[in-house]
């Protein structure tokens, strides 16, 4: 216990806060100062011995196991350099706090945020990043063959090539196309290939190939017959075509083996506009070829007018003579409209009396007739 209380002494200079002069037990000036190993605080020698004799924990940190010894005074006398003071790790993302005498060990060898160098490729980063993320991708990181062959500790970037040559890698049989589903090891492939069962598989595969060839020959002959028949019976031209108001109804195909359509230019309406009527009809190519529709345009000099733009729409097939029955655009046949989900008859206002009708290929410069 102290021989002096704090009130009995006066100091020439103010004592710095980090310097302990009071015993935390008796609250008087330290006498025979003793340090404790758990937290580094000072107590009067008699005070801390009395606490220890009663099996009490450290009065400051409550640690039950600790030692006390005579304070030989801190080797760092300058303010703020006490080796027992708790300081924060210098790495920003690390929140660890240690006594100054232990902080260097932590920062240099234990802190997960310390900067280290990958010993395989030389890349730098935090210890946490290098050991957790970088090693998973490092091309120089040593890996072993997944087939457990004799090749070990090869750089990761060589693994793919190694597997392509590894004798213990399972590979497809060279007769897999013929129905062999076995996957022998690469080192056993020659022995496996020599197995006579492959002759049976080859015979069956060749028989099936012969049947497939005969089917293809028949389908090809049938297709040629339909094409020649359609061409021979086709009295309508393919786009592009020229049409005028005097042409009347003009039938055509949207392209080679394309959709059967007809067009007509007529004049009429309240303001004497010029109209282009487009209709779709049943075609000789529909059943066998199911032709796709491309965008269709009308061209006069350098002016283009779109006629058919929705190539995915369903267009109702009308009688072949439907456009010949129309005399006035203001009085279309019942059920025919300009456009709807089931388009029946397409009507477009034009500014000219003669045009060339073409599809997308024509518009791109392949086949427009010159006017």
Kindly report, residue by residue over 119-151, the tens digit of the pLDDT. 999 999 999 999 999 999 999 999 999 998 988
Q: What is the pLDDT of residue 226?
A: 67
Task: Share the mean pLDDT of the chain.
Answer: 81
What is d(CA 319, CA 321) in angstroms, rounded to the nearest whole number?
6
Query: What is the C-alpha separation between 141 and 233, in angstroms, rounded?
Result: 73
pLDDT higher than 50, residue 216: yes
286, burial (CB in 10 Å: exposed 0-12, middle 13-18, buried 19+) = middle
Q: What is the pLDDT of residue 175?
A: 86
Residue 368's pLDDT band (cuts 50, 70, 90): low
pLDDT band at 347 (very low <50, low <70, confident <90, very high): low
Mean pLDDT of 187-208: 86
Res. 293: pLDDT tops 70:
yes
Cα–Cα distance measured from residue 216 to residue 210, given in angstroms and rounded to the nearest whole number: 10
Q: What is the pLDDT of residue 234?
A: 61
On the question of pLDDT at 336 being above 70, the answer is no
CA 124 vs. chain centroid, Å, equals 28
Alpha carbon distances (Å) from 369 to 225, 241, 300, 301, 357: 31, 7, 10, 10, 9
Question: What span, in angstroms and rounded, lies between the C-alpha atoms of 369 and 299?
Answer: 9
pLDDT band at 349 (very low <50, low <70, confident <90, very high): low
Burial class (CB in 10 A: 0-12, 13-18, 19+), 42: buried
Residue 120 backbone dihedrals phi, psi, to 5 degrees: -100, -40
pLDDT in tens, 37-47: 888 889 999 99
**Res. 325 pLDDT band, cuts 50 70 90:** confident
Of residues 124, 91, 130, 123, the one with CA closest to residue 108 = 91
Measured CA to CA, the distance from residue 268 to residue 330 in angstroms comes to 8
Cα(186)–Cα(294) distance, rounded to whole angstroms? 52
| pLDDT given for residue 342 in this prediction | 43
Q: Which residues contact 103 (CB under 8 A, 6 or more apart)?
A: 87, 89
- pTM of full prediction above 0.75: no
């Amino acid at each position: 216990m102290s021989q002096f209380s704090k009130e009995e002494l006066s100091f020439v200079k103010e004592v710095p806060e980090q310097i302990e002069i009071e015993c935390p037990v008796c609250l008087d000036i330290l006498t025979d100062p003793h340090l404790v190993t758990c937290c580094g605080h000072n107590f009067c020698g008699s005070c801390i011995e009395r606490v220890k004799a009663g099996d009490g924990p450290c009065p400051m940190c409550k640690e039950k196991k600790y030692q006390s010894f005579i304070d030989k005074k801190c080797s760092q006398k300058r303010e703020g350099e006490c080796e027992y003071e708790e300081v924060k790790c210098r790495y920003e993302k690390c929140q660890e706090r240690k006594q100054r005498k232990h902080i260097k060990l932590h920062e240099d060898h234990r802190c997960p945020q310390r900067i280290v160098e990958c010993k395989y490729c030389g890349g730098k980063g935090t210890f946490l990043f290098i050991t957790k993320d970088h090693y998973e991708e490092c091309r120089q990181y040593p890996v072993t063959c997944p087939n457990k062959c004799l090749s070990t500790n090869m750089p990761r970037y060589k693994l793919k090539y190694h597997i392509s040559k590894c004798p213990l890698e399972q590979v497809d049989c060279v007769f897999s196309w013929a129905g062999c589903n076995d996957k022998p090891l690469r080192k056993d492939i020659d022995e496996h290939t020599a197995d006579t069962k492959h002759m049976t598989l080859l015979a069956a595969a060749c028989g099936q190939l012969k049947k497939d060839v005969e089917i293809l020959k028949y389908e090809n002959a049938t297709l040629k017959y339909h094409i020649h028949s359609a061409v021979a019976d086709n009295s309508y031209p393919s786009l592009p075509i020229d049409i005028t108001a005097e042409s009347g109804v003009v039938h055509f195909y949207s392209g080679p083996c394309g959709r059967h359509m007809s067009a007509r230019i007529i004049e009429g309406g309240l303001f004497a506009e010029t109209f282009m009527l487009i209709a779709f009809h049943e075609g000789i190519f529909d059943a066998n070829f199911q032709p796709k529709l491309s965008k269709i345009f009308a061209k006069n000099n350098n002016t283009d007018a779109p006629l058919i733009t929705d190539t995915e729409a369903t267009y109702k097939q009308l009688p072949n003579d439907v456009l010949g029955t129309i005399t006035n655009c203001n009085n279309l046949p019942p059920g025919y409209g300009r456009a709807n989900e089931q388009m029946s008859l397409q009507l477009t206002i034009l500014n000219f009396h003669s045009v060339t009708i073409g599809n997308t290929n024509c518009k791109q410069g392949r086949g427009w007739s010159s006017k």
